[in-house]
Amino acid sequence: MRNLASIQRIKSIKPIPDADAIEVAEVLGWEVVVKKNEFKVGDLCVYCEIDSQLPERPEFEFLRKSNFRIKTLKLRGQISQGICFPLSILKQDVDLVEGADVTEILGVVKYEPPIPAELSGTAKGKFPSFFQITDEERIQTLPNIVEQYSGKSFIATEKLDGSSCSFYWYNGTFGVCSRNWDLYESPTNTMWKFARENDIENKLKSLGRNIALQGEIIGEGIQKNKYKIKGHTVRFFRVFDIDQYQYLSYEDMIPLINGLGLETVPILDMNYILPSTIEEVLKYADGKSKLNPQVDREGVVFVRYETSNNGRLSFKAISNKFLIKNNE
């Protein structure tokens, strides 16, 4: 699970031009605007990531206008992502160890956008345990990745702004999942409608093995339909071999998806060489969508296949331009 609030160390502090009261601190791979002289390089702080929803408490009252949600901001021309609190924000004894997760202690939860009526459904259970939930880490939380894999080859695909969904065939049972739940079939649920209209159950059954397809459903009523798609479609980005408990490589995934009459997410580069700085990765995340060149893309997902991590190493870079424009 994502550590939304954790104890982290201030790596550097830089001035902001023409700003007397604020400066920018580096935490992990994030840049965060802080009050001038509130922290020194090397200090520990409580860092809360963007997309954190803080509880309604007096010390967080300054976030009421954003409904206590932490968003990407631009202050005096400086991108700021997250909030650094002094350790005194912790009201109970905690081991002050760098990296310690204090999400539950602070009562922080992940912000989840309202679910469109078309995607709502009745859960028959939590997300299945026999394949993995889709939740890529952002590059800023993984600064060591850039150091370790700079110069190595990754597959770069467009990160679509929709809703995560999964379709599985497991021991004779077909199922459809939202991001977090296994759903009962419903004629009004868009994911189940897509499954039936595209004969996903029989297509998966024909493969003769336990398998899961994971993708992003986009279209009318979903995230303001930025791509101006008529109706709904799913673009797939993962295939999970349940029997082997590992992901298929893109070289195997693409012909499988296409052979089923389905489509993958847009592939930007099959041989993207990871640069040496997070700044360069974030710059690459900016750009226009392959689905609709009139709109900015949300970002990029980077994938590399290895023997560890169930055969797959991946992370995402969300476009700061996209986040600011869409008030996220």
Mean pLDDT, the chain, rounded, equals 93
φ/ψ of residue 168, rounded to 5: -135, 155
Rounded to two decimals, what is the model's pTM?
0.90
CA 141 to chain centre: 11
Cα–Cα distance for residue pair 226/219, rounded to 1 Å = 8
**CB neighbourhood size of 73 (10 A):** 18
Q: What is the pLDDT of residues 136-164, one digit of tens each?
A: 899 999 999 999 999 999 999 999 999 99
Which pLDDT score, from 0 to 100, does residue 91 have? 79
User: What does the pLDDT look like over 163-188, one tens digit per residue?
Assistant: 999 999 999 999 999 988 999 999 88
Measured between alpha carbons, how far is residue 80 from residues 62, 102, 106, 222, 324 in Å?
Answer: 16, 21, 21, 27, 10
> What's the whole-number mean pLDDT along residues 221-238?
94
Domain ranges of the chain: 5-110, 123-325
**Residue 311 CA: distances (Å) to CA of 1, 17, 39, 64, 289:** 19, 45, 41, 43, 28
Give the Cα separation of 139 and 29 in Å (integer): 7
- Domain range 123-325, CATH architecture: 2-Layer Sandwich (3.30)
Q: What is the pLDDT of residues 91-108, one digit of tens each?
A: 777 888 999 999 999 999
pLDDT of residue 307: 63
Q: Name the CATH code of domain 5-110 (choices 1.10.12, 2.60.40, 2.40.50, 3.40.50).
A: 2.40.50
Flag whether pLDDT at 272 surpasses 90. yes
Task: Tell me the C-alpha distance between 102 and 127, whole Å.
Answer: 24
Q: Which residue type does 101 have? A: D
Identify the pLDDT of residue 54: 97
Contacts of 112 (CB under 8 A, 6+ apart): none
